[in-house]
Amino acid sequence: MTAERAVTAEELRTLFLFEKLDDEQLGQLSRAGRLEVLEPGPVYREGDPATCFYVLIEGAVVLTKLSGGHEVEMVRTSHRGSYSGAWTAYMGDRVPQLYSASMTVPERSTFFVLDAGDFARFMEEWFPMALHLLEGLFFGNQNSREILDQRERLLALGSLSAGLTHELNNPAAAAVRATDSLRDRVAGMRHKLGMIASGAYEPATLQALIEIQEEAVRLVAKAPTLSPLEESDREEALSEWLDDHGIAGGWNLAPTFVQAGLDVAWLERVAASTTPSILGGAVAWLNYTIETELLMNEISDSTKRISSLVGAAKQYSQMDRAPFQVSDVHELLDSTLVMLSRKVGDIDVVKDYDRGLPRVPVHAAELNQVWTNLIDNAVDAMGGRGTLTVRTYRDGDCLGVAIGDTGPGIPDEARDRIFEPFFTTKPVGEGTGLGLDISWRIVNKHGGDIRVESRPGHTEFVVRIPLAGPEGGHDD
C-alpha cells in the first residue's frame, strides 16, 4: 500500500537538496510534489519509463542493476535526502527517459516525490546556468568515452595489423624464394633430361629411370620426420656411398635425399638400373626431381598458410558477415589466437575446448575484442614465458570461456578496481585502462558476466554468455 499526503515548505527546507531555495521556490515545490509512504518492495524497474524523481525522507532505499541475468546491488542507503529516479528529465528527448536502475525499499519508507515533468520545469526555470553545465558534462563524458573506446580499438587494430603483416610476410617471402629456386631446378632438370635423351641408352634403362623418378616423388610425399642425429647419420652414409661411386658433390646431394626420406638402399636400386657411365647424370637428374617436389611442397605450404591467415583475419573482423549472428565461439577464439600469434611468441598455448557446445547468437566481432583484450593482458602478464590456457565449457544455461595465465597474479589492492575505466597496472604509456572496461560492457551487452580469480602463478578471467543470446535479441 502507498500512502500520500501534501508536503510543506518547512519540511522541504530540511532536505540538503533544497536548503538553498527561497520561500517562493519551496512553495512551488510543495504544491507540485507530494509525500509518499511506500511499503517494502519494488518501486520501479530498470528500463521502465522514468516518470518520477524520488527524495528519501525516512527509511532506506536499494538501487540495483541487471548484469548477466542477476541483480547487482549498486547502492544501499538510509541517508536522508538521497535521491534517485528521473534525474535526467531536464534533458528531454535528447536522451532516453528510462530508469537506469531498479529501486526497492527494504522497509517502510517515506519519500518526497516529484513528477518528471515538474522536475524538468523547475530545473529549466531556476538553474539555467547549472542546466547547461550539466548537459555539457553529460554529453561531454559520453563523447569522451566514445572517442577513447574508438582509440582503444584502433590501438588494438594497429597492433594486430602489425602482427598480421609480419605473419603474412614470412610465408610470402618463403613462396617467392621457393619459386625462384624452382625455376633453377626445372631448368637443370631439362638440361639433364636432354643429356640423357641424347645418349645411346636402352629403352629399358630410360623406363627404369622414369619409374625410379616416380617412386622418388611418392617417397617425398611420405618422408618421415627424423631426429637431428638420425639426419646426420643418414647424410654421412649417403655422402660416403656417392663418393664411393665417383659422384661429385655428394655432401651437397645427401641432405636433399635425406629430406625426401631416401637412403643407401634406394641409391643401390638406382645403380642397379643404370650403368656406371650414366649413374652420375641419373642421380643428378633425380636430385633435381626431388628438389622440385620439395620446393613445390614449400610453395603449397606457404600459400596455405597465407590463405589460413587471411581466413583468420576475415573471421576475426567478421568481414562480409552480419554484426549479430549465430557463431561457434571456438572459431572466434582460434581466429583471435592467430591474429595475436606474433605477440604470443614462445608462450605455450593450451586449448581445452568443449566441442559439444552449441553455436550461440552473439555480436561476434565485439566478442573477438573481448578475447583480444583478455589474451593480450595474459601475455603481457607472463612477460613472454609461461602457459596460456583457453578453456570452454557449459555452465548451466551459459557458455563459459576461461582465459588463464601463469603470471605473477593481480595485486590484492588492484583486484577490485581492474574493471574501472582508466585504471591500469601497466607502466605509464603502455596501457589505457579501458580494455577491461570495454570488455565488461560488451559482455554485459550480451547479458553475460565476467569475473576474475587470481593468485601468484595463476590468473583466470571467466566470461559467461547466455546460450540463448542477449535478452531482447540483437538490438543494441
What pLDDT, in 10s, does the model give residues 29-88? 999 999 999 999 999 998 899 999 999 999 999 988 875 456 777 788 899 988 899 878
The pLDDT confidence band at residue 459, using thresholds 50, 70 and 90, is very high
Question: How many C-beta atoms surround the C-beta of residue 100 within 10 A?
Answer: 16
DSSP 195-219: HHHHS---HHHHHHHHHHHHHHHHH
Positive or negative CA dihedral for 171, 284, 273, 238?
Answer: negative
Does the reported pTM lie above 0.75? no
CA dist 22 and 292 (Å) reads 95
pLDDT at 132: 55
pLDDT at 92: 74
What pLDDT, in 10s, does the model give residues 5-23? 788 888 888 888 888 888 9
What pLDDT, in 10s, does the model give residues 353-364? 999 999 998 888
At 321, is the secondary structure helix, strand, or coil?
Answer: coil
DSSP 357-416: PPPEEEEHHHHHHHHHHHHHHHHHHHTT-SEEEEEEEEETTEEEEEEEE-SS---HHHHT
DSSP code, position 49? B
pLDDT at 432: 40
Q: Set out the domains of the chain in order of their start, with CATH numbers.
A: 2-126 (2.60.120.10), 160-309 (no CATH), 323-466 (3.30.565.10)
Mean pLDDT taken over the chain: 78
pLDDT at 53: 93
Q: Which residue has the cell 594497429?
A: 158
Higher pLDDT, 457 or 189: 457
What pLDDT, in 10s, does the model give residues 308-354? 666 656 655 554 455 678 889 998 898 888 778 778 888 999 999 99
The pLDDT confidence band at residue 106, using thresholds 50, 70 and 90, is very high
